[in-house]
Amino acid sequence: MEGAVQAYVSALQYNPDLYCVRSDLGNLLKALGRLEEAKACYLKAIETQPNFAVAWSNLGCVFNAQGEIWLAIHHFEKAVTLDPNFLDAYINLGNVLKEARIFDRAVAAYLRALSLSPNHAVVHGNLACVYYEQGLIDLAIDTYRRAIELQPHFPDAYCNLANALKEKGSVAEAEDCYNTALRLCPTHADSLNNLANIKREQGNIEEAVRLYRKALEVFPEFAAAHSNLASVLQQQGKLQEALMHYKEAIRISPTFADAYSNMGNTLKEMQDVQGALQCYTRAIQINPAFADAHSNLASIHKDSGNIPEAIASYRTALKLKPDFPDAYCNLAHCLQIVCDWTDYDERMKKLVSIVADQLEKNRLPSVHPHHSMLYPLSHGFRKAIAERHGNLCLDKINVLHKPLYEHPKDLKLSDGRLRVGYVSSDFGNHPTSHLMQSIPGMHNPDKFEVFCYALSPDDGTNFRVKVMAEANHFIDLSQIPCNGKAADRIHQDGIHILINMNGYTKGARNELFALRPAPIQAMWLGYPGTSGALFMDYIITDQETSPAEVAEQYSEKLAYMPHTFFIGDHANMFPHLKKKAVIDFKSNGHIYDNRIVLNGIDLKAFLDSLPDVKIVKMKCPDGGDNADSSNTALNMPVIPMNTIAEAVIEMINRGQIQITINGFSISNGLATTQINNKAATGEEVPRTIIVTTRSQYGLPEDAIVYCNFNQLYKIDPSTLQMWANILKRVPNSVLWLLRFPAVGEPNIQQYAQNMGLPQNRIIFSPVAPKEEHVRRGQLADVCLDTPLCNGHTTGMDVLWAGTPMVTMPGETLASRVAASQLTCLGCLELIAKSRQEYEDIAVKLGTDLEYLKKIRGKVWKQRISSPLFNTKQYTMELERLYLQMWEHYAAGNKPDHMIKPVEVTESA
């Protein structure tokens, strides 16, 4: 070609005015990529012959190639003005207007071209593309068909026709068109990619992957195919490979906003929050109108606890794309977290309709299973939401093509011991470990071999150390990210019963259970609902939490514990709260057990060192069903107001950390973190005498203090209305809540004022370290439970503090846990059957101080004598249930309800 260039140059040296030759030289230079030289040739040709339309059109092509769209449009328009019958110029003008998304003018250019050449198939195809972009799908389909009629061997037209048919919902016909395009041109990359998209949507993931890889084999620089393949790989859990393809997509197309957003999703799943945040931010910078990126950014803010920022981003996403179910449902959850109940009823109606529509269309619902109990969904909907997520796990593991595991039918290989595997991401400083950390070490080693499988890395806490030390085997599966290999490890251990402690909570790997590495798999403790999954056999629960008549709410078979399925390790973590003493402060003859409270392991020795300590007998029922049963008395030490008591009170008032009295360290209850951080988190037992007072939290000394220490998302308008009614009926009372989160406080205060309560009737405190959180519960008179979703761990916390809890069980597992705890505790009188009864119980406790004293005494006594906090007895009962499950399986039976629990005693 260089020789041809020289020939043209030589000709022009002899006659510089040969404008046609100069234009032809420009074409040659353009083909060689020498655009600036080509541009100079065309300009010189125009200078020689200003009406030479071909040079104007060719110059437009150069400007288009250089990205100078407006100059290109100008030169094409000049060309067709000079030559109204210039077909190629009209086609080029239509093409550049189409790329510039100036669709009306593009249509006009193509129609003019077709008036000159009615049977030009490519122009029909390009015109159809414009109609498609304008949303004129039917017109686009007709025009694509005309292009194919004119040129039957036109793979681009078949591919584009398929795109339009798919948009219209004619997926089968679209699939046929993609296949036709590929028969005509087996290396048609767009058809390979788009057909892969259909296969993916049909659930044929392997075929989708094969087609994406084929598209990339044909066209390695195909950014969209890299991004689409990455998305499927992410779905399969192949995160590193997915990340590699997203990076390739972005390398090829640096302004590929979708790839940035999806790469952010992958990084988020890999726990790289900062990387995900950067990707979402970059996607929005590229395309500020990218609703999905705004929604993804909101999810990062939500997970990081930045709820106001999350709300703002979700609202931006919904402004950009009003029909965006994921953004709407996640926004609804954020608003629930901060108690923003604006248009609450309408929001709930819309949310339910979204879920109904998604379930009807067999789509993954936008409401997460763990959030479903917060909304007025039917039991069928809640179960179906969980089922969809369970099926998603099956989809992920199906691509592994793992053969079914063979399971043991007897205990010969384990020396007659039942091998139980506990799987959790929460072996560390987490409420789940706070509840069950002692159980692995309490199993009977002659009959049970305990395996604990951690799904999260070591957090360095004593909670992790304890489980690691006391389980027979501790395996860190966070170091085995491949679900197939992790399941192999579980199976190699010969597990008989595998326990799922996560459900659909953060850190779960339900894919392990979907692979069925154990013959019996059960849900327990960590998730308040059904898994909806075929691969979970049992849910360990109890008669109060999951009555047999609602068994259809669960995909699992019910396996009952004799008392409650819930347990707390409070007696081991907080033994210093088993006893307390009080200071007789401003009592006016009435001794209060919750104004100034002292607790400590050495409390008795300290009290023995003091003069004038009185023992007051607190009457309490003996554990019958109501407070009128025969009474026994509890001894409560009372320190009179003397110099010792004054020194303690002065320490609190002055904000001192610690003082020494008679050789004993007396510490300010607000300073446990400064004195011993591990004691503050509950990892160690405090060694000082700790003083806890109402004044530390701004609580009135002379009022009834109702409390609730749950996260605020568990409060709904009807619950706050009940609480407001109670406070109105008990004038000398306040409600003590947590800033959990702090941004919810002004909303609660405003709604309460709208209900007729002044702001000083609700007192908020910050969230506290675990030990302080449990200990300060002693200061409240009564806990008012949230009926929507009970306090589960927080219910145990407040009961261990000796504070009565009023509850009203609903119809979901999450709304019945507190009733189960109170039933086990022997305090049925605190369980209401209606909203009115809930209010009446709370009001009686707040107005009948003798009755309140009896109930408080009963709770204080029963937390020690009932099975509720007896982890040893609980473990024995759990073992009995495990043996029932195994015997049933070993006899060749399918899982069935086990609703006749066998009660055991600790001495058994």
* Residues tagged active-site: 370
Place of tokens 């990205």: 67
Q: 842 is written with which tokens?
A: 């709370």
How far is 380 from 358, CA to CA, in rounded Å? Answer: 14
CB 635 within 8 A of CB 616: yes
Angle between helices 817-825 and 793-800 (to 10 degrees): 30
Q: Taking the CA atoms of the chain, what radius of gyration do you get in angstroms?
A: 36
Q: 107 is written with which tokens?
A: 């249509």
CB 59 within 8 A of CB 39: yes
How far is 629 from 633, CA to CA, in rounded Å? Answer: 13
Q: How far is CA 368 from CA 151, 430, 502, in A?
A: 50, 21, 14
How far is 527 from 544, CA to CA, in rounded Å? Answer: 17
Q: 559 is written with which tokens?
A: 């396996």
CB 587 within 8 A of CB 614: no
SS3 875: helix
**Tally of CA atoms within 13 A in the half-sphere of 116 that contains its CB:** 16
Q: How far is CA 530 from CA 206, 447, 526, 793, in A?
A: 30, 29, 11, 19
Cα four-point dihedral sign 854, 858, 859, 861: positive
User: DSSP per residue over 186-248, as a string?
Assistant: TT-HHHHHHHHHHHHHTT-HHHHHHHHHHHHHH-TT-HHHHHHHHHHHHHTT-HHHHHHHHHH
Kindly give, in sequence order, each residue whose CB lies less than 8 Å from that of residue 24, ignoring residues fewer than 6 positions away.
Answer: 8
How far is 381 from 366, CA to CA, in rounded Å? Answer: 12
Q: Of 664, 635, 632, which Cα lies nearest the Cα of 647? A: 664
**636 CA to centre of own chain:** 46
CB 293 within 8 A of CB 287: yes
SS3 852: helix
How far is 453 from 560, CA to CA, in rounded Å? Answer: 24
Going along 58-111, which residue ranges are E strands? none
Burial class (CB in 10 A: 0-12, 13-18, 19+), 323: exposed
Cis-peptide into 611, omega within 30 deg: no
User: What is the phi-psi region of residue 667: left when phi exceeds 0, alpha when psi lies from -120 to 50, beta otherwise?
Assistant: beta
Q: 642 is written with which tokens?
A: 């003397």
Burial class (CB in 10 A: 0-12, 13-18, 19+), 240: exposed
